[in-house]
């Protein structure tokens, strides 16, 4: 009898000790609609890791994947709420990662910049500042420009039209010596991919990897996507974070380069520090330098 009493006491204590742990775990996984019934306040709701909180058009909450979040906003089943995202940094990070990998949505971001000179200037100045703080960002942008045949040729034309860049190249002994050397490898034809895989362009494999992993999801309502992008843009903190996500992805930089290379290169070449770093990176890329030599010989 005594042993039974001790067992009951021990069981009670054990149960009391573990009730908070159980409740905490249960609260973290219960569906948002159940949380909604309890709190009726969107600010108090939470989602499992990896999911994003969306308040649907009828006011009800839902925890969805970042991809589903964008589709639902696009179709009008919910609205982007910057306040919800700002109060949940992990969710915002997941959503931004999805945004920066989505070509369709980034088209809208590019369109906004091209249609708004002030936005373009502010964005490019922010990019240049981030490139100075983290040289890898410049590599992520230069990698696609120097590796892709069409982007490379367009980049060369923009460089020719920039007097300060042209003068900097003429005053760079290594550049002038390299341009007047014979073409590296075995010429433009057989050497086209050699530079990418010979160690001359260390960031190119990373660029190729990002291109393969890009997400291409079409959206039907450009107004809703533009509205979401606008809300993110007018929030300085979100815009700064978004720019960093963009600069971290060479595949995305390739898309932006094709969309608006002129303004991007213009701001970069206007900055003395970035301009010199660009020259050093170009000198490391065999295919790019062969293209320069080819153009130089044909003139």
Output the tens digit of pLDDT for each of the chain's 299 residues: 555 454 444 444 444 443 343 333 334 447 766 666 566 667 777 788 889 988 888 878 888 899 899 888 988 888 888 888 888 889 999 898 888 878 777 888 888 888 889 989 999 999 999 999 999 999 999 988 988 889 999 999 999 999 999 999 999 999 988 887 765 554 433 333 433 334 445 555 455 554 544 445 566 667 888 888 888 888 888 888 888 988 988 888 888 898 899 999 999 999 999 999 999 999 988 888 888 876 655 54
Query: Helix axis angle, 286-298 relative to 149-160, nearest 10°?
Result: 60
Whether the CB-CB separation of 138 and 131 falls below 8 Å is answered with yes
Task: Look at residue 179 and tell me if it is in a domain.
Answer: yes
Number of folded domains that form the chain = 2
Task: Look at residue 79 and tell me if it is in a domain.
Answer: yes
Task: Look at residue 7 and tell me if it is in a domain.
Answer: no
> On the CB side of 39, how many CA atoms lie within 13 Å of its CA?
16
Residues 62 and 183 in one domain: no
Structure tokens at 186: 């075995």
Residues 47 and 85 in one domain: yes
Residues 163 and 258 in one domain: yes
Domain of 69 in residue numbering reads as 36-100
Residues 215 and 251 in one domain: yes
Residues 172 and 204 in one domain: yes
Comparing CA positions, the residue from 47, 292, 27 lying closest to residue 176 is 292
Task: Look at residue 57 and tell me if it is in a domain.
Answer: yes
- Residue in this structure with the two tokens 């809300």, named with its chain if needed: 231
CB burial of residue 191 (10 Å; 0-12, 13-18, 19+) = middle
Task: Look at residue 222 and tell me if it is in a domain.
Answer: yes
Task: Look at residue 112 and tell me if it is in a domain.
Answer: no
Task: Look at residue 111 and tell me if it is in a domain.
Answer: no
Structure tokens at 137: 């960002």
């Amino acid at each position: 009898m005594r042993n039974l009493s001790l067992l009951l006491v021990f069981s009670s204590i054990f149960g009391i000790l573990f009730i908070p742990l159980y409740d905490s775990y249960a609260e973290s996984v219960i569906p948002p609609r159940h949380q909604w019934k309890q709190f009726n306040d969107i600010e108090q709701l939470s989602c499992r890791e990896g999911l994003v909180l969306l308040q649907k058009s009828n006011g009800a909450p839902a925890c969805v994947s970042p991809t589903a979040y964008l589709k639902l906003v696009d179709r009008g089943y919910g609205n982007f709420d910057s306040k919800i995202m700002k109060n949940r940094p992990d969710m915002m990070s997941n959503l931004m990662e999805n945004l920066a990998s989505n070509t369709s949505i980034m088209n809208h971001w590019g369109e906004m910049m091209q249609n708004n000179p002030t936005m373009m200037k502010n964005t490019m100045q922010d990019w240049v500042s981030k490139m100075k703080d983290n040289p890898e960002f410049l590599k992520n942008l230069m990698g696609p420009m120097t590796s892709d045949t069409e982007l490379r040729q367009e980049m060369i034309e923009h460089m020719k039209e920039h007097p300060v860049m042209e003068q900097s190249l003429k005053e760079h002994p290594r550049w002038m010596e390299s341009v007047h050397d014979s073409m590296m490898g075995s010429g433009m034809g057989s050497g086209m991919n050699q530079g990418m895989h010979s160690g001359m362009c260390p960031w190119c494999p990373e660029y190729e990897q990002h291109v393969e992993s890009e997400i291409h999801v079409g959206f039907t309502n450009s107004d809703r996507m533009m509205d979401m992008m606008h809300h993110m843009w007018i929030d300085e903190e979100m815009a700064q974070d978004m720019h960093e996500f963009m600069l971290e992805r060479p595949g995305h930089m390739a898309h932006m380069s094709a969309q608006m290379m002129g303004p991007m290169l213009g701001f970069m070449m206007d900055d003395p520090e970035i301009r010199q770093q660009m020259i050093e990176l170009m000198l490391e890329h065999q295919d790019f330098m062969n293209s320069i030599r080819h153009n130089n010989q044909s003139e």
